[in-house]
């Protein structure tokens, strides 16, 4: 199964979030730069960064090296970190949103709806079992609701869509959990712990991770960053 890819478009993705039950107090906003002056414009608190980046050979080489190194270490993964694998093509945008919301459920006024039901259904599952939930469309009406919302909002984007066309960009989420900054990518074997952080330093620390991604593909300009933040509504 392949979905239509979501655009890195806060207007569209906010509709998706709110349709699934996230309070309108929380909005995704564009991050227009990763230097201090630009970061200072991001509304506080910021609960997550969502990074869209090109899937280049350099990315895959680094990911393979990173996996090998971390398999030889005991990186800390806090027990209540919510992580799910990606098995459905073009679902990375939805999975990045799930990672962002699920790991901040105690901070977000998550209303009864599709997200809350999905998180309740998947709370005690493994990352692999959570990922496979998205493949259970005929047997799970709650998952069908989420996928239908994904498809509907993807069609609101400005890019002509073909679900079978190869997508060369990928969404991941960066979140704070248990005092650590985690990179959550459903296509990797496990979460990536990028070191200690706090809610006060999260924006700066997440920006550094985004800078590292960009530095590895410095000749490519096709990166976008969004932050999940509180707004004045």
Percentage of residues in the chain having pLDDT higher than 90: 54
Q: What are the b/e assignments for 91-108, b being 16+ CB within 10 Å?
A: bbbbbbbbbbbbbbeeeb
Q: Which of 99, 142, 150, 170 is catalytic?
A: 170
**Which residues span the domain enclosing 140?**
10-230
pLDDT value for 163: 46
- For residue 174, list its beta bridge partners: 49, 183
Instruction: Give pLDDT tens digits for 158-184.
Output: 444 444 455 578 999 999 999 999 999
pLDDT value for 143: 62
Give yes or no for a contact between 102 and 182, defined as CB atoms under 8 angstroms apart: no
Is 35 a domain residue?
Answer: yes
Collapsing DSSP to helix, strand or coil, 214 comes out as helix
- Structure confidence at residue 7 as a pLDDT band (50, 70, 90): confident
Across the chain, mean pLDDT equals: 86
Is 3 a domain residue?
Answer: no
pLDDT value for 173: 98
Is 225 a domain residue?
Answer: yes
CATH code for position 116: 3.40.532.10
pTM of the model: 0.89
Label residue 135 exposed, middle or buried (CB < 10 Å: 0-12, 13-18, 19+): middle
Query: Any catalytic annotation for residue 92?
Result: yes
Is 15 a domain residue?
Answer: yes
Q: Which of 92, 99, 142, 150 is catalytic?
A: 92
Is 4 a domain residue?
Answer: no
Per-residue pLDDT, averaged over 41-69, amounts to: 93
Collapsing DSSP to helix, strand or coil, 174 comes out as strand
Contacts of 65 (CB under 8 A, 6+ apart): none
Instruction: Give pLDDT tens digits for 83-97.
Output: 999 998 888 888 999
Domain count, the chain: 1
Encoding tokens for residue 118? 């999905």
Label residue 178 exposed, middle or buried (CB < 10 Å: 0-12, 13-18, 19+): middle
- Structure confidence at residue 139 as a pLDDT band (50, 70, 90): low
Whether residue 26 is predicted with pLDDT greater than 90 in this model: the reply is yes
């Amino acid at each position: 199964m392949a979905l239509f890819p979501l655009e890195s478009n806060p207007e569209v993705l906010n509709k998706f979030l709110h349709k699934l039950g996230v309070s309108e107090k929380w909005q995704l906003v564009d991050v227009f730069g990763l230097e201090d002056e630009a970061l200072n414009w991001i509304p506080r608190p910021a609960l997550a960064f969502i990074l869209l980046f090109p899937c280049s050979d350099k990315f895959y080489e680094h990911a393979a090296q990173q996996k090998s190194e971390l398999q030889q270490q005991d990186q800390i993964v806090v027990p209540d970190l919510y992580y799910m694998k990606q098995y459905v093509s073009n679902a990375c945008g939805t999975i990045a949103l799930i990672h962002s919301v699920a790991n901040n459920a105690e901070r977000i006024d998550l209303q009864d709806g599709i997200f809350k039901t999905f998180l309740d259904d998947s709370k005690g599952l493994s990352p692999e079992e959570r990922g496979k939930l998205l493949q259970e469309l005929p047997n799970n009406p709650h998952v069908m609701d989420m996928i239908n919302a994904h498809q509907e909002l993807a069609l609101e984007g400005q890019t002509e869509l073909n679900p079978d066309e190869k997508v060369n960009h990928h969404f991941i989420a960066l979140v704070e959990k248990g005092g650590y900054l985690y990179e959550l990518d459903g296509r990797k074997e496990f979460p990536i712990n990028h070191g200690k952080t706090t809610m006060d330093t999260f924006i700066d620390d997440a920006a550094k991770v985004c800078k590292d991604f960009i530095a590895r593909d410095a000749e490519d300009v096709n990166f976008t960053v969004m932050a999940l933040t509180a707004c004045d509504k």
